[in-house]
Amino acid sequence: MFFCSCSQQPFLYTTLFVRMPESRPSVSIPAQLHKEFTPALPAFISLNQWRHEVLPSKSLQSSLIRCFDTNKAASASSEENAKPNNRYFGRDTIADAAARIAPAVANIYAQQGEDREIGSGTVIHEDGYILTCAHVVADTTNAVYLADGKVSVCLQDMEKNIVGRVVDAYVDLDIAIIKIDSPSSPLPAAKVGSSSKLRPGDWAIAVGSPLSLQHTVTLGIISCVHRTSNELGLTGMPMEYIQTDCAINPGNSGGPLCNVDGEVVGVNVETMNVEKASGVSFAVPIDFTSAIIKPFQNCRRTVRPDFGWVMRNVSDKNFQALKKYYPTFPYARDGVFVQKVIKGSPADRAGIRTGDVVVNVNLKQVRNIKEMMDVMGERSGAPVMVIVKRVRFGKDDFLCLNINFEEKDDAAPRPRL
């Protein structure tokens, strides 16, 4: 201890003894490895500072934590062949995707006998064509009964519900098209993507009206891209579904399943029994419906692209009922049954009647709706030739009919939305 001589009051100083560390072996880290495991981070800004932070669209596992061969030549080759990823996933990615699709999502109510069915749909053309599920607008469990096809539709920017009508329905695909007659202004149409590009683990966004709660958005991932109807215990025509873990509830059916770009990649159809499973939902791949929706997407306002019919497969299950209730139903164990023809539609003008069985389209045999869609994929507004089987004069007969799509009535006044 010692006192400081320049002060009236003594200050007490204590001598400190610091113990020096013992010598330790040094570890040399290769420069390349050190560089790769300490990369310059992207702009990962606190949410309290900026609204937008920048994160690579790939997972952190592939973006920031990478495993390298200690062999310098191998690492150099890997870096040389690596492609930069310029897409980013931020806090607004999902919200932006939902905002893109929301104006085109419809809330749908359809009266089926004493029951009121709730569903959703997606506008696919500005002239008022809406894609939805067939079971939302028609009783798909009964081959005899069919509602009148009128539905109530509400979009995000509509002040009130307006009436739409079913113009096309394919029961075994569970796909239907609704038409709002002469909207007062062009409707916001959704952008359609491709389901063939989906991979398990991709983000999935479902939009619809579960339990009549309009404009509900749920998020999940693609669980499987090729779930077959056999795996789900569904009989009838072979189908493939997209499986997701998005929350899908009554009212979501017919609504869009989207990717992170807000593009429609599927049509939500159903979820498994919640008592047995959770987060197991399904959608019809949008590519599977391309033959149905492409004519509507590409049509001009002066062209009416719908057929104006409700179709279902002929099967052993419904054969007896069809023979009993439809006097013009022929003896046919396969083909596509015309359950209803809309008055004034292209199918009606061509001479197709309720009870007919379509067996040939554009000189190609069709045994079910899937084969019909494969043939329909080749049309682009051109006339379609169909051969139907029908009972005439007490015996089965074949008729060759041409369906044209170049007539449309635009004279009717447009109702206010």
d(CA 174, CA 136): 9
- Give the pLDDT confidence of 182-229 residue by residue, as tens digits: 777 889 999 999 999 999 999 999 999 999 899 999 999 999 999 998
Catalytic residue among 253, 281, 345, 356: 253
Give catalytic status of residue 397 as yes or no: no
Given the residues 174, 195, 306, 345, the one annotated as active site: 174
Q: Hey, what domains does the chain have and what are their CATH numbers?
A: 31-91 (no CATH), 294-403 (2.30.42.10)
* pLDDT (0 to 100) of residue 116: 84
d(CA 330, CA 383): 25
Tell the burial category of 399 from Cβ atoms under 10 Å away from its Cβ (0-12, 13-18, 19+): middle
168 is an active site residue: no
In this prediction, residue 117 carries a pLDDT of 87
Instruction: Please answer whether residues 207 and 102 qualify as being in contact, where contact means their C-beta atoms are separated by less than 8 angstroms.
Output: yes
Query: CB under 8 Å to 49, separation ≥6 — which residues?
Result: none
pLDDT at 58: 41
Segments of the chain scoring below 50 in pLDDT? 1-3, 5-18, 36-37, 41-76, 78-80, 82-86, 410-417
Residue 323: the pLDDT is: 85
The answer to whether 174 is a known catalytic residue is: yes
State pLDDT tens for residues 39-66: 554 443 334 443 444 444 443 333 332 3
Which candidate in 125, 135, 139, 195 is catalytic? 135
